[in-house]
Amino acid sequence: GDSVTQMEGPVTLSEEAFLTINCTYTATGYPSLFWYVQYPGEGLQLLLKATKADDKGSNKGFEATYRKETTSFHLEKGSVQVSDSAVYFCALSDLGSGGSNYKLTFGKGTLLTVNP
């Protein structure tokens, strides 16, 4: 079945540091890939997405590139801010066998804390 594996947290960085959160996936079809962010006490919000190989999703300084050869979708940001402190989720949506699977599969989430 489909699965998403992302790096264990928590991740603690100083402001302006470089961020990488690794994400790899297993899928039976040709999935769409997503990064979601969850701020304290809130629901998940879409951060960025990519729908085909070599696509780069970007938003708010965050980037992730869909790498089919390595089945990866790592999240990066060149200079994090205190306001980026949140939980980040990698997710995939796969049509699966017969095109009947429309659910989103999430990783376990990575807690990021950015200190001033």
Shorter beta-carbon distance to other proteins: residue 45 or 83: 45
The site for other proteins (CB under 8 A) is made up of 32, 34, 36, 42-46, 49, 51, 89, 93, 95, 99, 102-109
- CA–CA gap between residue 24 and residue 74 (Å, rounded): 8
Q: How far is the CB of 28 from other proteins (least distance, A)?
A: 14
Query: Residue 71 — left, alpha, or beta (φ > 0 → left; ψ -120 to 50 → alpha)?
Result: left
Shortest distance in whole angstroms from residue 76 CB to other proteins: 20
Least distance (Å) between residue 99 CB and other proteins: 8
- Nearer to other proteins by Cβ, of 57 and 84: the residue is 57
Contacts of 98 (CB under 8 A, 6+ apart): none
What is the CA 53 to chain-centroid distance, rounded?
Answer: 15
